[in-house]
Amino acid sequence: MKINFFKRFSLCTRITLISIIILTSISVLLTIPVVYNAENIIKKPINKLNSTDFNEISDTNYETMIETSKLSNVIINFKLHSYMYMIALIFLGAFFIYYILKKEFASLKKLSDEMTLINENKLSHKITGFDNGYELTLFANSFNTMLNRLDKAFESQKRFSVDASHELKTPLTVLKTNLDVLNLIENPSEEDYKYTISIFKKQTERMIDLVDSLFLTAFQKDYDLNDTIVIDNIISNIIHDLEDNITEKNISIDVTKSDIVTKGNCIMLTHAISNVVQNAVKYNKPNGSISVTFEKIEKNYIIKIEDTGIGIPKDKENDIFEPFFRVDESRSRKSSGAGLGLAITKEVIYRHGGKITYTPNKDGGSIFKIKLPFII
């Protein structure tokens, strides 16, 4: 109850009260010994005079009694003045402490008011004018940094929502257009129906792939990393799944053997690496090649995936890991790509404590390096 009652006061008042208690304690501890020692010093002649045996009252004895009385008054006055000065200094110190704290906390109150004005629509607003103290400046700068991160996160979410809506709307528009065309035909033939059904199937598959990718993007942080993963097995399974596409383009695959074992989520890591290998096949040239090599560097391993495909323009290299980014819109439309593959790969690799980088192949094509920690 006492703590709750104390917390009802403002921080400025609480610090002032604590300072007053400390100041009072120090003043009392300093004043009492001084008064006590001074009293003992003054009392020595009084005690000496009091010990004298006065049998007769004489002028000398009378003067001694007066002197004793004066010394007693000196002791009383000294005590009184000492305690009065102590109390006065305590009150004066308390006033100055409260005044200084009130002035300093005014800046903190102003900072609080500035922070209160910020909402989800004003995240770009910056707190300025707090350079009158190291702590306040540091706090304001940290708060501005946090606002920048939130602003970027909100903008990223907005862009993601807009892009996702656009991606979902595109196949629906295609479906509606084909339905309208079919509806305009008076007597649709079997071929017309088959063609429309094939369009429906293709666009439906595209929407399913997109929804699956959106689901992975939204929930890819909510999974455990407790699987023991053999990288060789992952690569073998990926190549087996893409065997038809590889054969169709007559692409040669060269995979070096590796004994790398790591911890993580086998499904998500397989999906992440598969996105890179799948792109290497999808955008490769006929009779091209793909090589997958491994390298150990200290406590990490590098998976290097190199292809002889069409590559990525230099001005777009920094954007390839952004959600919904496409190097070539028309090319991605034909291949049913939504531009989420590498974005998902980047987040999955990051979640596993690693990093993915891109460099152009000097002979044409792309080189992706996936860096991940390994266990023995």
What letter represents residue 254's amino acid? D
Domain count, the chain: 3
Whether residue 96 has pLDDT greater than 60: yes
Confidence of residue 257 (pLDDT cuts 50, 70, 90): confident
134 vs 16, 28, 96, 104, 181, CA distance in Å?
22, 35, 22, 12, 70
pLDDT for the residue 1: 47
Does residue 125 lie within any of the structural domains? no
User: Following DSSP, what letter does each residue of 97-157 receive, concatenated?
Assistant: HHHHHHHHHHHHHHHHHHHHT--TT-TT-------SSHHHHHHHHHHHHHHHHHHHHHHHH
Q: What is the CA radius of gyration of the chain?
A: 42
Same domain, 342 and 210: no
Whether this model's pTM surpasses 0.85: no
Domain range enclosing 261: 221-373
Nearest to 310 by CA among 370, 249, 261, 263: 249
Report which secondary-structure segment, H or E, holds 221: none
Q: Are 176 and 320 members of one domain? A: no
Residue 286 has pLDDT above 50, yes or no: yes
| Cβ neighbours for 209, distance < 8 A, ≥ 6 positions apart | 336, 338
Same domain, 229 and 206: no
Statement to judge: residues 240 and 361 lie in one domain: yes
**Rounded-to-5 percentages of helix, strand, coil across the chain:** 65, 10, 25
Report the amino acid identity of residue 239.
I
Choice among 167-171, 247-251, 368-372 with the minimum mean pLDDT: 167-171
CB 356 within 8 A of CB 346: yes
Q: Which of 170, 189, 216 is the last residue of a domain?
A: 216
Same domain, 207 and 95: no
Last residue of a domain, which of 166, 188, 216? 216
Q: Does 133 map to a domain?
A: no
Q: Mark whether 155 and 186 lie in a shared domain.
A: yes
Residues 188 and 226 in one domain: no
